[in-house]
Homo-oligomer: A and B are copies of this chain.
Amino acid sequence: MKVVIVGCGRVGARVAMLLDHAGHDVSVVDTESRAFRRLAASFSGNTVIGTGIDEDILRAAGIENADAFVAVTNGDNRNIMAAQVARHIFNVETVVCRIYDPVREDAYRRLGLVTVCPTATIAAQVLEHVLSAASGSGVTEGLEG
Q: Is A89 an interface residue (CB 8 A)?
A: no
Q: Is A118 an interface residue (CB 8 A)?
A: yes
Interface string of A83-107 (1 = CB under 8 A from B): 0000000000110101011100000
B114 in contact with A15 (CB, 8 Å): no
Count A-side interface residues using an 8 Å CB cutoff: 43
Alpha-carbon distance A126/B143, docked complex (angstroms): 32
B130 in contact with A122 (CB, 8 Å): no
Alpha-carbon distance A119/B15, docked complex (angstroms): 10
| Residues 8-60 (chain A) with a chain B CB within 8 angstroms | 10-11, 14-15, 18-19, 22-24
Min CB–CB distance A23 → chain B (angstroms): 3
